[in-house]
């Protein structure tokens, strides 16, 4: 790494040096194909310094992640486990090829914590998902009864879910209520009637989607916002903010209509900061908060100084 590359992330240097997409550069790291100063480095967000030596070994075996680190287990009891999801990790498998997802790593971590005793438990259930690139809090039920109870709370929208995001432009407080559809007319998910105006009723598979947005801090050319979900559709926050003219910093999909300069980041800067629900067995209110990870806070500090990220 030379003086010009110092301060850039490992993924950024791989992207530029090998003419890769962001996703391909991150996957090289995640799969154990990249060595920095003689050690395998799986964190594509690591900042490089002048003199670091980077090598790529495509023939290296893929790393299996094993178990979720214990410091990412936020809460655990007999009915639920609340975890902190890192970026670039699927919450649950989408098909049989998906291994080492968050639910897999959490299952392995619980087995380690409990001495490998299964105690006739059902597999962890899935009642919510976070996008692969999104970080933050997520709950898995540990029993079928807990799963049913949590599903009922999600169904009536009583679960508290708020996110922090860094979005382009100056965002104002607003509530976005639209009907999300799989194809808005250009192959992307979006709100019915936003991309192509239509007087027709939303199609049968459209899903009502509500996001409440509050400005937390004006950062000049960007904004730190809190997004509170009333519903939880796939990519809901990213779509609603993009359609309002405020695509997330780091957004790579819902960005086609963005006007002006883009602020570069390795992922859409979205973090599930608050999670609250009633305990599925006792009914006691439970509420958890977690501050955003390093890459999010680094970007926030950079924008507060009025600087441009590298």
Note whether 255 and 169 are same-domain residues. Answer: yes
236 located within any domain: yes
pLDDT value at residue 299: 96
Active site residues: 131
Tens digits of per-residue pLDDT, 214-261? 999 999 999 999 999 998 898 999 999 999 999 999 998 888 778 888
DSSP label of 8 = S
More confident residue, 238 or 196: 238
pLDDT value at residue 64: 55
309 located within any domain: no
Q: Contact, 13 vs 44, CB < 8 A? A: no
The domain spanning residue 211 has which CATH number?
3.30.2350.10
Residue range(s) defining the domain that contains residue 264: 162-268
Residues pairing with 212 in the sheet: 175, 228
The reported pTM is: 0.77
Note whether 282 and 254 are same-domain residues. Answer: no
- Cα separation, 1 vs 30, in Å, equals 20
Tens digits of per-residue pLDDT, 251-310? 988 887 788 889 999 899 999 999 999 999 999 999 999 999 999 999 999 999 998 887
Note whether 111 and 247 are same-domain residues. Answer: no
């Amino acid at each position: 790494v030379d003086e010009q590359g110092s301060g850039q992330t490992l993924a950024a240097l791989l992207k530029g040096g090998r003419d890769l997409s962001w996703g391909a550069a991150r996957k090289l790291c995640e799969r154990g194909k990249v060595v920095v100063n003689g050690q395998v480095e799986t964190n594509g967000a690591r900042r490089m310094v002048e003199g670091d030596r980077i090598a790529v070994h495509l023939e290296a075996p893929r790393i299996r992640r094993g178990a979720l680190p214990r410091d990412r287990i936020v809460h655990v009891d007999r009915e639920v486990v609340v975890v902190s999801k890192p970026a670039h990790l699927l919450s649950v498998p989408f098909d049989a090829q998906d291994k080492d997802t968050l639910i897999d790593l959490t299952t392995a971590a619980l087995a380690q914590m409990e001495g490998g005793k299964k105690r006739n438990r059902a597999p962890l259930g899935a009642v919510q998902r976070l996008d692969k690139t999104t970080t933050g809090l997520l709950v898995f039920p540990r029993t079928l009864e807990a799963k049913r109870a949590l599903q009922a709370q999600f169904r009536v929208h009583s679960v508290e879910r708020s996110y922090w995001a860094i979005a382009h432009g100056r965002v104002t407080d607003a509530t976005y209520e639209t009907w999300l559809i799989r194809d808005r007319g250009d192959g992307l998910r979006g709100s019915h009637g936003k991309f192509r105006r239509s007087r027709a009723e939303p199609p049968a598979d459209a899903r009502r989607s509500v996001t409440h947005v509050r400005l937390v801090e004006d950062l000049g050319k960007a904004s730190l916002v809190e997004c509170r979900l009333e519903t939880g559709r796939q990519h809901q926050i990213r779509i609603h903010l993009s359609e309002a003219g405020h695509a997330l910093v780091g957004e790579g999909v819902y960005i086609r209509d963005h006007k002006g300069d883009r602020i570069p980041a390795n992922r859409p800067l979205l973090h599930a900061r608050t999670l609250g629900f009633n305990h599925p067995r006792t009914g006691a209110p439970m509420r958890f908060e977690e501050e955003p990870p390093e890459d999010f806070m680094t970007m926030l500090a950079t924008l507060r100084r009025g600087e441009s990220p590298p």
